[in-house]
Structure 1
Amino acid sequence: VILEDTLVDVKFSGLSWRGNEGFYYSSYDKPKGASELSAMTNQHKLYFHALGTAQKQDKLIFGGSETPRRYVGGSVTEDGRYLVVTAAVSTTGNELYLQDLEKGDKGSLTLVAEGFDKEYGVVTSENGQIFIQTNDGAPNNRIMVAQGIQHKSEWKELIPEGEFPMSVGSGAGRLYVSTMEHAVSKMDEYAYDGRHIQTIELPGVGSVGGFGGKRSAEQLYFTFTNAITPSAIYTYVPGEEMEAGVIELFRASAIDFDPSQYESEQVFYTSTDGTKIPMTISYKKGLQKNGKNPTILYGYGGFNISLTPSFSTSYTVWMEQGGILAIPNIRGGGEYGEAWHVAGTQMQKKNVFEDFESAAQYLIDEGYTSSPYLALSGGSNGGLLVGAVMTRKPDLAAVAFPAVGVMDMLRYHTFTAGAGWAYDYGTAEDSPEMFAYLKSYSPVHNVVEGTCYPATMVTTADHDDRVVPAHSFKFAAELQAKQGCGTPTLIRIETNAGHGAGKPTAMVIEEAIDKFAFALWNMGFAKLPNP
């Protein structure tokens, strides 16, 4: 039987099934009297859709005027017993609500973790026990256990916080704790009672994803990758009781790429305030440190997002041409837990820029490249990073690629879901001091007449409703009006596209070609270095 149910205006949402009855999803009301792509969206709602019914009949579960939240998500535990609702007002921190679905209409949605300054997420449930990952009392996260629906004050610690940040998944009757040690994955296997079974020997040094599945699964799947190793899928069969499991390659990448011809190294450099920052540098073997290698320095530095080693087909093309790819793990990210994140937020945001600038200086000082051969790149919050650094230090790099960036720091919170980013940025309305701090680095407000800025290709898309394209439009206009030399300042606007996710392959290839050609030409290469 095929049901032709159609739902609209589903945004920032997953779908979670409740048996065969229907599913939970999240939605914002459509903005009234304003642009659907730029108007503020500040009330997220969780609904239940019963199969075979019209969307207008969907039941509101959480959100709306009584409990206004910017981000609301709902999911059902694998055993079907509990509805889990997370609710937040910003991109960091959330409330946690639970409902016992076995009680039917008598099971009310219960607040078990209040406040918005800590994070709580349900991993799984087993025989009435609920396993929860949280950074409450543990900046690098820990695993707690609740005996049914209990307030957080009654939870018991199962796996304590470690030196490095952890995240946990479940499958095949085990818990799998992924630890990020200096931005590199380590995986440990635990029993549900907290006993450590083993540290799993991974295929190499890099990033792991997966190790999740159903309770009844006999084998699990995971991916492994690093900067010069295409992502491959592996199977993992857990051992009996406390025995080690077995890993086998399930599917290798079919890309025509020979990792043995490339090198990827992790270095540690010193930022302006003395903080040690890790950076991964990847390139083709035989590199000469003569300061003349075309180099892309890519960064993000925000929202607790970690840049772990991963393979990129696009950047492989860059390295084939003799280019270097450098990715520093700057503050604002999650590579060293919540403390690392907070160190790059609000009135400490300039730490992020200084970390990125120091990464560039390290590459120059060590002979990997020099300013005429350096390009700065980043998207979204990373677009802000590039915009801020190129206006702070216009002579640091030859080329800049600020993509879908947050460029107007005084008004970002007035568009779509932008107000939810205030935990990281603060807003101009917080205080005179915050207004002045934001204005001091806001890219749109710091383009100076007559200054020679790098050759710049601003990129955005006409349907980006996360970071609205007006940010990029204004920044490009400021650059074009005030550029003090002959280097080009362009804007590339993708049509029928959004913030970046979900682009068709052809569109991704076209953008990569445009960027690489623009970079090499403005670094002085009249032809490809390695045709």
Structure 2
Amino acid sequence: MDPLEYLEDLDDPRTKDFIARSNEESSFLRTRAKDHFGSILEKLTQEMPLDLIATRYGIALLIRSREGVVLEVNGNKFKSKNKDETFNSLSRVWNSDQVKLGVGIRGSDEGYSLLMEGVNVVKRIDGLIGDVFYYRGELCYVKEFRTESSPDGVEPVVERVFCGGKMFPFYPSRGEWVSVKAEGDRLLLVKGVGWSHKVLYDQDLNVMDEGNITSVDMKGGKVYYVKDNFLYVNGERRFKLNYPVLDMKVHDRGVIVEEIRDYRTSLVEYSLESTEVWVYPGENVMSFDLSREDVYALETSFTYSYRLLRVRNGRAEILREGLKDEVDVKDIFVKGEETLHGFLISKGGNKGVIVYGYGGFAVPLLPNFNTLFRELLNSGFSVLVTNLRGGFERGEEWHKMGMLRNKMNVFKDFSEFLKVVKMMGGKTIAMGASNGGLLVGATVNFYPNLVDCGVIGYPVLDMLRFHKFLAGMYWIHEYGNPETESDLLLSYSPYHNLRRGLPPVLVYTGLNDDRVHPMHALKYVAKSKELGNLVYLFVNDKSGHNVNYPEYTAEEMSMIVGFIEQCVERR
């Protein structure tokens, strides 16, 4: 029995007392944080589009702005009237001219969704809603049951499809996710088993294909998908793509593919005979969509916040753009077990190096105009963004090299970057959030002499109990199943491998995090304190894992900068 298990219950008076005491102990950081709050808030309220969809009403943009996150279509805006309710996602409603606007409460995933025509609300759907589509005259949607059982009695976390208020006869297991595309009377249902394996079904629930499928689309009654980096059409293999594919969309002449080339993304048009028609070499294409012969794209980088582009035959026209920042960006390569790539970003400061990583779930770390990084750069720090095994910078095999029984590779990779900074005489601040919090927690345990300060956000830290809370069942395909692979998970679990003599660490989380339970952060800090380590906890009662109101995010970021400044001064 774990004596700290009570911290898994956020309603337990002892947990509430622990949070209150921990926030009080870290409150001294607010002195430094005040110096940064205004600057960070200013950055967070500068216009930054997050996503786009081409509709018959015009290009729909989800934009972070001074008014919070707003939906904009052809200059018309729709915004929330409640600052605790934040728009956090934008997606197409298939077989319609509508889009779905996801709404979270104080940074949570779950809230409700609004179906929109232009900036007009058509319908509200409560709950944690995924893809929405119309099928044979009925409104249909995917719903996730994260904290309660599904109507057919399956325990969370589980997803079901509903049409006309009734459950569609498609029953994935716990921890499997669902996406749906629709075209007329045809459906393409995708069952995801982790972040590597997908199964494709038609509307009659016949299996069309399965395997390492990274992107799917349908047009003209045909299903297009990328499997093992080959393009398939209706199950027929057409040709090999030479770079990792992040997204693909079909148009009349062929396919538009977003590829990772040299750790940046490019948009490429291919004919169905494999001819490369044109290439737009970008930095980081966040989102793109098609409208007749045009490609509309949102792009970001380390040096500019965003560009809204119209790409025609490979030629890009900038329709709208944001801020620019003069920073020095270098591609660096480090030799470990594999040759590793990173981005070193600097404005000439020498206070220390933020070594940032993620390394999991096939998530690539690409050029990005990050608000927290910009504040740290302006405060005299450099930032090293690391591309580790477990990501997708080199494709699915690179991902597999950092998952399940290969997870230790990720920590080894991260340590190689820390060694380089140390060899150059720099101070190292290891930073990561979510799965990146797991990365930093494990690295601090295994390589304490390489870390001067650690910053761990919204983390996964108890690897024996993660599957019992919120979205944790999804992750067993990435980490392993604690019920059957406890030895593997125990070998690197940051919570279970805590020891004395670790460097100073700030752990932060939010009470509204309904994806990664705050218990990970609470238990980790309580145990580390018992061992005599210098560890601080900041629990934000106004935040969660998702997009949030600018003031709440600015408070959190300013505490992080305050901790880092104080920590490096004392090392």
* TM-score of the alignment, normalized to the shorter chain, above 0.5: yes
Among residues 465, 468, 484, which one is paired with 2:514 in the alignment? 465
Structure 2: segments with no counterpart, 5+ residues: 1-116
2:250 partner amino acid: S
- The aligned residue for residue 233 of structure 2 is 145
1:276 to 334, 339, 342: 339
- Check if 1:350 corresponds to 2:403: no
Bigger radius of gyration: 1
Candidates 271, 289, 298, aligned match of 1:191? 271
1:318 is aligned to 2:376? yes
Per-residue deviation, 1:301: 0.4
Q: Deviations over 1:102-142 (max 9, x none)?
A: xxxxxx2322125xx5336432212x3221222xxx2xx22
Letter in 2 for 1:85: L
Shift of 1:336: 0.9
Length-normalised TM-score, structure 1:
0.78
AA at the equivalent of 1:123: D
Change (3 A) 1:121 1:265: closer
Matching residue of 1:247: 316
Task: Give the alignment partner of residue 442 of structure 2, picking from 378, 388, 412.
Answer: 388
Unaligned runs of 5+ in 1: 33-38, 50-57, 100-107, 147-154, 238-243, 527-531
Deviation at 1:17, TM superposition (A): 3.6
Is 1:17–1:76's contact at 8 Å kept on the other side of the alignment? no
**Partner of 1:438 in structure 2?**
489
| 1:498 aligns to 2:534 (yes or no) | no
Instruction: For 1:88-107, list aligned pairs within 5 A.
Output: 88-99=192-203
Question: Residue 487 of structure 2: SS of its match in structure 1?
Answer: helix
Alignment-mate amino acid for residue 440 of structure 2 = V
Residue 472 of structure 1, CA deviation = 0.9
- In the superposition, relative to structure 1, how do residues 68 and 62 fare at CA in structure 2: closer, same or farther (>3 Å)? farther
Task: Measure how far apart 1:21 and its partner are.
Answer: 4.2
- Report if aligned partners of 2:506, 2:560 keep a CA contact under 8 Å in 1: yes
AA aligned to 2:168 is I
1:398 aligns to 2:449 (yes or no): no
Quote the residue 2:555 is aligned against: 510
Q: Given the superposition, is the C-alpha separation of residues 71 and 462 from structure 1 closer, same or farther in structure 2, using an over 3 Å criterion?
A: same
* Deviation at residue 525 of structure 1 after TM alignment: 7.7
Kindly indicate whether structure 1 or structure 2 has the higher relative contact order, using CA contacts under 8 Å at least 6 residues apart. 2
Q: What is the rounded CA distance, in whole Å, between the counterparts of 1:5 and 1:212 in structure 2? A: 24
Give the partner amino acid of 1:467: V
Cα distance, 1:89–1:493 mapped onto 2, change above 3 Å: same
Partner of 1:305: 363
Aligned pairs, how many? 449
Q: Distance in 1 between matches of 2:208 and 2:255?
A: 22
What's the secondary structure of 1:228's corresponding residue?
coil
Looking at structure 1, the residues matched to 320 and 397 of structure 2 have their Cα atoms a distance apart, in angstroms, of 37
- Deviation (angstroms), 1:305: 0.9
Q: Which moved more, 1:306-315 or 1:168-177?
A: 168-177
**How far 1:197 sits from its partner (Å)?**
1.3
- Which residue type is aligned with residue 158 of structure 2? Q
Deviates more, 1:354-363 or 1:161-170: 161-170
Verify the 8 A CA contact 2:421 2:428 in the aligned structure 1: no
Aligned to 1:71: 176
Residue 83 of structure 1 corresponds to which residue in structure 2? 187
The amino acid across from 1:346 in the alignment is: L
C-alpha distance in structure 2 between counterparts of 1:435 and 1:73, whole Å: 28
Conserved 8 A contact 1:464-1:498: yes
- Residue among 493, 501, 504 paired with 1:455: 504
Q: Return the structure number with greater strand share.
A: 2
Q: What is the CA-CA distance between 1:492 and the residue it aligns to? A: 1.0
The verdict on how the C-alpha distance between 1:9 and 1:415 changes in structure 2, with shifts beyond 3 A counting, is same
Note the C-alpha offset of 1:314. 2.4
The one-letter amino acid paired with 1:122 is: V
- Cα gap change, 1:508 to 1:3, in 2 (>3 Å): closer
Equivalences for residues 171-190 of structure 1 within 5 A: 171=251, 173-190=253-270
- Percent identity of equivalent pairs: 24
SS in 2 for 1:441: coil
What is the CA RMSD across the aligned residues, in angstroms? 2.6
Deviation at 1:334, TM superposition (A): 0.9
When normalised by structure 2's length, the TM-score is: 0.73
> Is the 8 Å Cα contact of residues 63 and 72 (structure 1) preserved in structure 2?
no
* Match in the other structure for 2:22: none
3-state secondary structure, aligned to 1:325: strand
Could you tell me whether the CA contact under 8 Å between 1:97 and 1:112 is conserved in 2?
yes
